Amino acid sequence: MLICWLKATGEKTINKKVFLIIAALLGLILGGEMMLPLLEELVILALEWVHKTLDILYEDVLGFAEESAKKASAWTGVLLLIGLIVWGCMKLYQQIKRLIAAFPAWWKESKAEFNAWWSSLSITYKSLVVFGLIIFLGFLTMLI
């Protein structure tokens, strides 16, 4: 598909940014199976470290009993998690509002650019682009 895209656009070489994006996406798709357990283990270790640090803080610094310190650190973790979820939802809502406001102008601009590009192609290049998209979708279907 990349070759069809290069022929259709008339470019001689691929942009380095486009190449890096494609390589990163392929790396995430193919290497995700190996990286996911590592990331999961790192998150679990970080949470255990925070829990142990809170236990030490409540027991040694504040003088809580062992059982009270465990309960306090558990409730602190729950409150921190709830706070992070609320903060993340607020940030996500702000981003969604910004995207919804910018979408109509972006859509009109992208549609005009695509129509200008598509109308400049000959029927041969149009068929190459469509064939390349079909092959790319078939490749993605095989990955699933």
Q: What is the pTM of this model?
A: 0.53
Distances (CA, A) of 20 to 6, 17, 29, 63: 16, 5, 14, 54
Convert the pLDDT of each residue in 55-106 to its tens digit. 888 898 888 888 888 888 889 889 988 999 999 999 999 999 999 999 999 8
Please give the mean pLDDT across all residues of the chain.
Answer: 85
pLDDT at 24 exceeding the cut of 90: no
Number of domains in the chain: 1
Around Cβ 58, how many Cβ atoms within 10 Å? 20
CA separation for the pair 86, 143 (Å, rounded): 35
Q: What is the pLDDT of residue 69?
A: 87
Q: Note the pLDDT of residue 3.
A: 55
- Distance separating the N- and C-terminal Cα atoms of the chain: 19
- What is the per-residue pLDDT for 97? 94
> Do the beta carbons of residue 143 and residue 29 sit within 8 Å?
yes
Q: Look at 28-37, 76-85, 132-141 and tell me which has the smallest mean pLDDT.
A: 28-37
Average pLDDT over residues 101-115: 91
Residue 49 domain boundaries: 2-143
Q: How many CB atoms lie within 10 A of CB 54?
A: 19
Q: What is the pLDDT of residues 89-103, one digit of tens each?
A: 999 999 999 999 999
